[in-house]
């Protein structure tokens, strides 16, 4: 199937990045959100990020203008129904995602492919609630989407070969690399990454090291570009906790038990960069460890 039009549900951190790369690759993009302010902010951010790419010589001014012209916005979910491909990029909560797909179903064209940008939730389970489980896949982009090269493609138990082949071709057109993952909790990247972050939080919780010493140890001792606690703040501590809960519940193994300190930070509303406080306090000129 030739994908030409793409609908994206959710204009947040992931949604606006996905819209950015699809528009730049020549797709017509319709971006949906429940907030007009959220949509306006997303379009402004895409414009700034494209302008940054122009300044660095990675994108021409003409290509930027063409990409921006391909992006439309709507607060009406039903408007996405006739499009070729829909990517759900809402918050990492299964009931929210299920309601989006439930609301979309009456408006979908017969050929429309449904996907979720979920980082951990069962694709098979999400697909089973729709009328087209064979045309449903996990389409997991990494953050920040315009920069990161990997896209995880996750087939549910019912996903057919033409759907997989279509999305594999889309990833190639975006200039990214696909990694095929089986539909098990957290797939590949987060199955490995989140337990590492969780263990870093346990290391802090048990007093083995401070925020600064843990992050410096992994940056300088393992050559990681960001320390695990800094990375957790970047991802969002609520997202990290949600994925650890999916791993813990889905695999029934105590090694995936979320650290109580991670839970405590989320309960406090200290979710990382997006709330200005997490393992670091971002309210000043320089991030300061909070422990």
| Active-site residue, 152 included | yes
- Of the candidates 116, 117, 190, 198, the residue annotated as catalytic is 190
Query: Cα separation of 41 and 35, whole Å?
Result: 10
- Of the candidates 119, 120, 122, 198, the residue annotated as catalytic is 119
Which residue carries 């000043």 as its tokens? 284
Task: Let me know how long the chain is.
Answer: 291
Query: Cα separation of 288 and 291, whole Å?
Result: 9
C-alpha 134 chain-centroid distance: 22
2: enclosing H helix or E strand:
none
Taking a C-beta distance cutoff of 8 angstroms, is the pair 197, 272 a contact? no
| Active-site residue, 134 included | no
- Residue environment code for 183-212, b if the CB has 16+ CB neighbours within 10 A, otherwise e: bebbbbbbbebbbebbebbbbbeeeeeebb
| Active-site residue, 140 included | yes
Taking a C-beta distance cutoff of 8 angstroms, is the pair 100, 78 a contact? no
Query: Cα separation of 25 and 48, whole Å?
Result: 17
| Active-site residue, 267 included | no
Kindly tell me the number of DSSP H helices and DSSP E strands found in the chain.
11, 10
- Of the candidates 88, 152, 198, 230, the residue annotated as catalytic is 152
- Of the candidates 20, 49, 140, 230, the residue annotated as catalytic is 140
Which residue carries 């949604």 as its tokens? 15
Which residue carries 């670091």 as its tokens? 280
Which residue carries 């813990």 as its tokens? 248
Point out the residues that are catalytic. Answer: 119, 140, 152, 190
């Amino acid at each position: 199937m030739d994908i030409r039009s793409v609908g994206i549900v959710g204009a947040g951190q992931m949604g606006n990045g996905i819209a950015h790369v699809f528009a730049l690759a020549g797709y017509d993009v319709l971006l949906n959100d429940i907030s007009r302010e959220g949509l306006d902010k997303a379009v402004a951010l895409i414009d700034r990020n494209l302008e940054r790419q122009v300044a660095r010589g990675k994108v021409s001014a003409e290509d930027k203008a063409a990409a921006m012209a391909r992006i439309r916005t709507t607060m009406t979910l039903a408007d996405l129904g006739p499009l070729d491909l829909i990517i759900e990029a809402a918050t990492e909560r299964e009931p929210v995602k299920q309601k989006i797909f439930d609301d979309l179903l009456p408006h979908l064209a017969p050929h429309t492919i449904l996907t979720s940008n979920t980082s951990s939730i069962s694709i098979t389970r999400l697909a089973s609630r729709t009328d087209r489980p064979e045309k449903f896949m996990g389409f997991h982009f990494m953050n920040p989407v315009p920069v990161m090269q990997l896209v995880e493609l996750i087939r549910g138990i019912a996903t057919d070969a033409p759907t997989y082949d279509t999305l594999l071709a889309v990833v190639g057109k975006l200039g990214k690399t696909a990694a095929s993952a089986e539909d098990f909790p957290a797939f590949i990247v987060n199955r490995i990454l989140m337990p590492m972050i969780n263990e870093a939080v346990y290391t802090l919780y048990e007093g083995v090291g401070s925020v600064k010493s843990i992050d410096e140890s992994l940056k300088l001792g393992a050559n990681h570009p960001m320390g695990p606690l800094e990375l957790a703040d970047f991802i969002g501590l609520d997202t990290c906790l949600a994925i650890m809960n999916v791993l813990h519940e889905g695999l029934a193994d105590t090694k995936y038990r979320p650290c109580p300190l991670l839970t405590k930070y989320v309960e406090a509303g200290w979710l990382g960069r997006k709330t200005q406080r997490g393992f670091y306090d971002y309210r000043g000129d320089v991030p300061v460890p909070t422990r």
